[in-house]
């Protein structure tokens, strides 16, 4: 995969997982009383999965930056 394309994909994945994480956290913590317990439990599990996907996206971003010779941040 092209390094530029990988960088764009990783950055996009980071934004998407962050937005989804925030939505799941909001639903689980602030709107939890409006949902059945199973839905709240799924939202809490999604937070763990989305955090892991965010971290994976960040690692892919670092790989792309390294391939492009950019400063790793």
The structural domains of the chain, with segments of one domain joined by +, span 3-68
Q: CB of 67 within 8 A of CB of 27?
A: no
pLDDT per position as a tens digit, 1-14: 799 999 999 999 99
The predicted pLDDT at position 1 comes to 74
| Dist CA 22 CA 20 (whole Å) | 5
Predicted TM-score (pTM) of the model is: 0.88
Token pair of 39, please? 């839905």
pLDDT per position as a tens digit, 12-62: 999 999 999 999 999 999 998 999 999 999 999 999 999 999 999 999 999
């Amino acid at each position: 995969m092209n390094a530029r394309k990988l960088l764009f994909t990783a950055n996009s994945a980071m934004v998407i997982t962050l937005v989804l994480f925030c939505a799941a956290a909001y639903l689980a913590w602030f709107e939890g009383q409006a949902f059945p317990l199973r839905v709240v439990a799924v939202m809490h599990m999604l937070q763990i999965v989305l955090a892991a996907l965010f971290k994976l996206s960040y690692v892919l971003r670092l790989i792309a930056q390294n391939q492009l010779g950019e400063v790793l941040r």
